[in-house]
Amino acid sequence: MKNQNYTATTLAGLEEVLAQELIEIGADEVQIGRRSVYFSGDQKMLYKANYCLRTALRILVPIDSYKIYSVDDLYQRAKNFKWEELFDCDQTFAIQSTVFSDLFDNSMYASLKLKDAIVDRFRYKFDNRPNVDSKNPDVLINLHISAEYCTISLDSSGESLHKRGYRVGQNEAPMSEVLAAGLLRLSDWDCKSNLIDPMCGSGTIAIEAAMLANGIYPGSIRKSFGFKNWQSFNAELFKRMENEVQPAEQAPVRISASDILRRNIDIASKNADEAGVGSLIDFKISDFKVLEPASEKPFLLFNPPYGERLTPDDTNFYGMIGERLKHHYTNATVWIISTPQCLKSIGLRPSRKIPILNGSLECSFRKYELYSGSKKFVAGKDGAEA
């Protein structure tokens, strides 16, 4: 089968992780971009990328790329494109636009011009037209304009790939599944050491850890992909790919997840059951202030509460985390994501700092290696070890 170029989008800070994932599944010509990774492969690779990648948000298939010098340039080229070879009049479509160009006042205007071109093409060919459905389209089209450069792509994923399909409930600020999977990869967790999330919220980190350790791909839970609505969809090829990536037998790994709120534990447990990993995670209600490690060399990865502004309560809370880790988690490896301001109050010197975005918040993902015996941790003026 002929190779084609694809673009996988991701969160800022996860580009290298996504590139490594693509290499692992056999993609060709992998190149890192800004919040994206470019690669090539055949049709089966397109299906495999959507099914297997844990840190991708969308897999885009470029179908036309050209320079535009006026609004009409976008319309005319798009009107001449053979959209009828991609989908039918009885299917719905929608357009997502990202525009950095003086030609357009806003992205919505660019989307409108592309929509007009597509509709007019169908009317010219069939005296009929497909309808727009912005909420649940059969076909999702991506438009990207930067200065005079225009790229039109088909979104093969449909809904964002972070929507695995297991989230039946959530708390106020659930972590993105893609971010959780990315943090696990960045932490170099070996998928064998006991993993603890002592502030699990709706359970995303623990669930993604259980899926990773047991070779369960996100696509095995997800019920739909955008490419299944395309005329070119090959159901037999998709099934063959699905059979080829079935997980091998994995060694059991213990994953513990706790939270101070019963409601969060109830939600996390239901989400884990929906993901098929409920039996692989030990959930319990517990305050981190009294939580004891379940093994001699625990591996902790967690996402404490934080916001845009640091309050005195935040300072005290993060100070408690640092004290608890120092006195009760010797010989532990600890990874925490939060804002740099909050992390200063922990009072431990990190061995690694990785800048990353959580939504719109600039965060830091930090590694703390705790040792018993001679190595003592004392908070300095800046909140680091003195």
* Domain residue extents for the chain: 4-155, 177-218+249-369
pLDDT at 286: 96
Residue 131 per-residue DSSP state: P
State the Cα–Cα distance between residues 28 and 126, nearest whole angstrom: 39
- 50 Cβ contact list (under 8 Å, min separation 6): 56, 59, 156, 157, 161, 219, 225, 227
pLDDT at 42: 98
In this structure, the strands spanning 139-146 and 93-100 are parallel
Query: Would you state the torsion angle of the CA atoms of residues 69, 35, 200, 164, taken in this order, to the nearest 10 degrees?
Result: 70
Right CATH for 4-155 from 3.30.200.20, 3.40.50.880, 3.40.50.300, 3.30.2130.30 = 3.30.2130.30
Please write down the HEC assignment for all residues of 303-352: CCCCCCCCCHHHHHHHHHHHHHHHHHCCCCEEEEEECHHHHHCCCCCCCE
pLDDT at 374: 38
**Low-confidence stretches of the chain (pLDDT beneath 50):** 374-386
The yes-or-no answer to whether 4-155 and 177-218+249-369 have a common fold is: no
Which class does domain 177-218+249-369 fall in?
A: alpha beta
The pTM of the full predicted model, rounded to 2 decimals, is 0.92
pLDDT at 1: 64
